[in-house]
Amino acid sequence: MQIKSKTYKYLDGSKLKAGIVVARWNNQITDELLKSALVTLKKSKVSEKKQKIISVAGSVEIPFALHKLARSNKYDFLIALGCVIKGDTPHFDYVCKMAQEGVLEVMLEDNIPVGFGVLTVNNLKQAKARIHVGGEATLAALELALIK
């Protein structure tokens, strides 16, 4: 099972259920991350009926929603989608740390693969150049679910 960046070998996820948590903050980017993730799910044969999308305010809220999905025992893998753009204050550092550590905790504590598609960038241009990360995070989680 080999995955190549931007030229994916899509995996068969037809028997799997996916939970997606997407932040509304910076939605011009997160909406595109979600589209990228959904394209990957479709190409990986994950039925729309086996997908649940939850929208949360921002990236700090992602881990809580992931935790709730994981504890429901209804999903084989989860996907975290968000975008944090650096500003003039240290708030960026705190948000990034909380999102990253929270997602990691869900993966390890709840024993479920989570694709990390939370962009942490310096500007909007960098974010737009990384829209494909939604699909990459999806494929990473799907691959882990298949070996779980």
Region of 86 (left: φ > 0; alpha: ψ -120 to 50; beta: rest) is beta
- Residue-wise pLDDT tens digits, 35-92: 999 999 999 999 999 999 999 999 999 999 999 999 999 999 999 999 999 988 888 8
CB 48 within 8 A of CB 96: no
> 27 falls in which pLDDT band (50, 70, 90)?
very high
Task: Determine the Cα–Cα distance for residues 52 and 74; give it in Å rounded to an integer.
Answer: 10
> Does the predicted TM-score (pTM) go above 0.75?
yes
Write down the mean pLDDT value for the chain.
Answer: 91
The C-alpha angle 26, 30, 35, rounded to 5 degrees, equals: 155
Whether 9 shows a pLDDT value over 80: the answer reads no
pLDDT at 12: 87
pLDDT at 148: 62
pLDDT at 45: 93
The full set of domains in the chain, from first to last, is 18-147 (3.40.50.960)
Task: Determine the Cα–Cα distance for residues 60 and 76; give it in Å rounded to an integer.
Answer: 23
Active-site residues, by number, are 91
